[in-house]
Each structure stands twice: as C-alpha cells, then as structure tokens.
A and B are shown apart, each in its own frame.
Chain A
Amino acid sequence: MNNNLFGYDHQNTWIHRLSGSSKLFFFLLVSIIAMVSYDTRFICLVLVLSLVLLQQSHIKWAQIRLVVKLIVAFSLLNLVMIYIFSPENGVAIYGTKHVIFGSGFYALTQEQLFYEINLALKYFVTVPLALIFLITTNPSEFAASLNRLGVSYRISYSVSLALRYIPDVQNDYQEISRAQQARGYEISKKGKLMARLTGAVHIIMPLIFTSIAKIDTISQAMELRRFGRNKKRSWYMQRPMTKNDDLVWVATIVIVIIGGWFFHIDGSRFFNPFK
C-alpha cells in the first residue's frame, strides 16, 4: 500500500538504478532554479530535458494521468485568477505595453500573455521530474537519500516513519470514519457545512488519540533498541554510488550554472523580449 500511494513502480532502467540521493539532489536543485528563473528559453530547455527523462524511465500515461489532470486544473484556475486580479502584471514587469485587442483595464496585452505563458511553463516544468522521482525511487530509500544529502539522521528517520505510518493512519481513518458515519455523523457533501465540521471533529478525535498512544509505543520500542546512541547510522535500503550517480551530480551543477548564466545575460530573473 505504501508503494501504491506514491506510485513506485519497480523496473530496471538506468534511472531506477540510480541512487535515491542523486535523484533527490537533481530534483531539488533543478526545480529550485526553474522556480526562480523567468527565462523562457531556460525553462523550455529544462522542460525538454525532463520530458526526455520521463520517456527514458518507461513511465506509462496511465500512471500519471490523474496527477497531470489535477495540475492542469489547478494551473488553469490560477492563471485565470491572475488575469482577473491583475491583467496588467505583465506590463508592470516588462515595462512596455502592446495591446492585442480590447481596451481599458482588461485589454489583452502581449506582455500579460507572455507572463502567463511563462507561469504556465513554470507550473509544469518540475512535474515530470517529481513524477520520475516518485515512480522510480523506492520509498524505503527516501530516508537514506535525505541523510546522504546532509539532513540529520533523526529527521530522516522521522520522514521514514511518516512514510511507514501513512497507510496505517489511512486505514485507521477509514475504519473510524465508517463507524462514526454509522452513528450518524455526516462528512460527505450530503451534510451541511456545520454538520460536516462537527462530523470531522468526531472522526479526527479518536484518530488522533490512537495515534498519540502509538507515538508512546513506538518511542519506547526505539528506546529499547537504543535509537540515537551513535553519531551515524547505516540504512538497509541505501544504494551504493556508481559512475552514473557522479554524472547526475555533475549534470545538476551544470544546469544550475546555466540557469545562473541566463540571469546574468538578462540582468534579472525575467527574460524580456519586448526591449
């Protein structure tokens, strides 16, 4: 069920064989630079690269259909909102105004169109990378990857506990939810807003109290096994670093440098074709 939730799919491509820490490093740095940059050329470059990687990792459309639909819906909503609230944001950013059609406050300008296209690209660019990471990396390897990237092993272990217990908590939640609905607490759309809120409280409460009891049991078990005695720990699921991993680290740094170089050419985060 754990693997189900995050969509991990066991295969044997070169991307699957990479260590989780290299993939995480690549994902984090590339998505941060793509998030900060508003240079269309650079974002397109990253988008093409991430689509190639998506194809290389043998991910099928059926596996990612749902997530992609959610993101498209979310992005469209956000883009429309931005236009409604601030149809001249692009003009403010790029400093010129070329009206395509219409007049007054809601006139469609080239600058606004370009700004929103950039935003849409930015919403999409990191999605393939995140999907590749989720689908090709065993969740059990995640903690080891975090630890290797310098996160303290205690926090890494917390993350691994969270991943381990999400399915359990989900099961508890479903059981409690059914029991409380049988007693008449409604949380689905059939109930009124207040009824749903009180219903939610009656489901959350038992869930949280069982979980707090769980926290005590688990921490006592870990104490007995002397968790946290040493400065370091080893991970059962850690993959050894290979030559490919080194290449991924180098590639990540090269991409970040290219992104930074585009900042330098543009003189800011924005690429301005209107000048």
Chain B
Amino acid sequence: MNRKHLSIRTVVAIGIGTAIVFLLKRWVSIPSGVPNTNIDTSYGFLGFAAVLFGPIAGLFMGFLGHALTDFTMYGMPWWSWVISTGFVGLGMGVLHNHLGIEDGMFTTKKMVLYNVWQVLINLIAWSLIAPMGDILIYAEPANKVFLQGFVSTITNSLSTGVIGTILLASYAATKLKKGSLRKED
C-alpha cells in the first residue's frame, strides 16, 4: 500500500474484522421500517475496530464486510452503500493516533471527541456519499434516497456512538494504564 506494506497485524485484523462485520450485518440488526435500512450493530464494531487498527484496516473491513454481506444475501453488492461503509471505517480510523486506547485511558474528553467525530463521519457517509451514489449509479429519485440516507445517519450514528463507546471504554479498561508501574525506591 502506501510507502510501507500492510503489516501482518493489519492483514489479520482486516480478515477477522470483515468476518465480524459480516456476522453482525447478517444476524444482529434490528429492522427500522425503511428498505435497506436497519439499526445495524456492525457500525458500532466498525467504529471501535477502526480506532483500534487504523484507517486502512477500517476502510477494508467496512468495504469487504458490507460487500460480502450484500453479495451472499442479495446476489449483488449495492455499491453506493458499500462505499459509504468503507468511508465510515476510513474516517473513524483517523482517530487511531489521537485516542491512544492502547494506553488504557479513555477519558471523557476522548469520549466526546470520538462521538462528535463519528456523527460528522456518519453524516458525510449517509447523508451525502450514499444518496449521491444512488442518484449517480442507480438514477433513483432524490427525495427517496435522501430520506433513506437521513434515517441511516440517525440509526448508524446511534450504533457507532452507543456500541462503539461502550466497546472502547471496556477495551481501555482491560489495558494497563500508561505510567501505572512505579520503580520501587
């Protein structure tokens, strides 16, 4: 990829992450009444995993996971939405270096940063990229796709926000806090 090759850990994270996104999309979502649109728990996982493994891993997990789900369930990936899921992974991965979850600290400040950022990313993905893709690729009517996009923005940011925050907080709690070891006098 860019400059250096993907690290082995990223390759494996993409593989397992894709499997989990696939599983969550297929079995663990709650219908919301608008076609193509569920309260989709996979976005909670995607937000968490992208923060943990970085933007490239997030991008591919989201893209491949969504494409595989559509491909096996409907026989065709719905490309505009698949691309948006990839974008969410990429966007959330940007926080990888800013949150420092591996240090075991998930402060209120970081929680606010994560949630503000995720609403922004979900807004761009579902109220802009997905509907525009639907119009450009599938020539669907604008008011329909923007309503779907609007509903998805809400459900997906709920998922990314609530589930993602809980996952990050619990994960950080399992890590040793930075500077928690002291040399004995």
Given known A-B contacts A85-B143, A154-B11, A161 and B167 have beta carbons under 8 A apart: no
Given A130-B76, A157-B15, does the pair A223, B8 have CB atoms closer than 8 Å?
A: yes
Q: Is B112 an interface residue (CB 8 A)?
A: no
Task: Determine whether the beta carbon of A82 is less than 8 Å from that of B141.
Answer: yes
Contact A204 B12 (CB under 8 A): no
B75 to A155, Cβ gap below 8 A?
no
B-chain residues with CB within 8 Å of residue A269 when the two chains form the complex: 139
Cβ–Cβ contact A204 & B44, under 8 A: yes
A interface size (C-beta, 8 A): 68
Considering the chains assembled together, what is the distance between the CA atoms of A216 and B7 in angstroms? 12
Interfacial chain A residues near B113, Cβ < 8 Å: none
Closest to B72 in A: A6
Which A-chain residue is minimally distant from B159 (CB atoms)? A197
Nearest CB of chain A from residue B84's CB, rounded to whole Å = 16
A207 to B74, CA, bound (A): 26
Q: How far apart are the CA atoms of A223 and B12 in the complex, in Å?
A: 11
Q: Which residues between 44 and 70 of chain A lie within 8 Å of chain B, taking CB atoms?
A: 67, 70
Q: Taking A126-B75, A215-B12, A215-B16 as contacts, is the C-beta distance between A196 and B30 under 8 angstroms?
A: yes
Contact pick for A67, options B6, B75, B144, CB 8 Å: B75
Answer whether residue A96 sits at the interface, using C-beta atoms and an 8 A cutoff. no
- Given A6-B72, A126-B76, A127-B75, A89:B45 Cβ within 8 A: no
**B120 located at the interface, meaning its Cβ lies under 8 Å from any Cβ of chain A in the complex:** no
Which of A11-19, A31-39, A250-258 is the interface stretch?
Answer: A31-39
Instruction: Say if the beta carbon of B103 comes within 8 Å of chain A.
Output: no
A117 within 8 A of B: no
> Given that A67-B73, A126-B75 are contacting pairs, would A219 and B8 also be in contact in the complex, using a CB cutoff of 8 Å?
yes
Given contacts A81-B34, A128-B75, A204-B41, 9 further A-B contacts (CB under 8 A): A81-B144, A82-B144, A123-B76, A157-B11, A158-B11, A162-B15, A162-B18, A165-B19, A203-B28
Q: Which residues of A contact B (CB under 8 A)?
A: 5-6, 31, 35-36, 38, 67, 70-71, 74, 77-78, 81-82, 85-86, 89, 93, 119, 122-123, 126-128, 130-131, 134, 152, 154-155, 157-162, 164-166, 168-170, 173, 187, 193, 196-197, 200-201, 203-205, 207-209, 211-212, 214-216, 218-219, 222-223, 227-228, 269-270
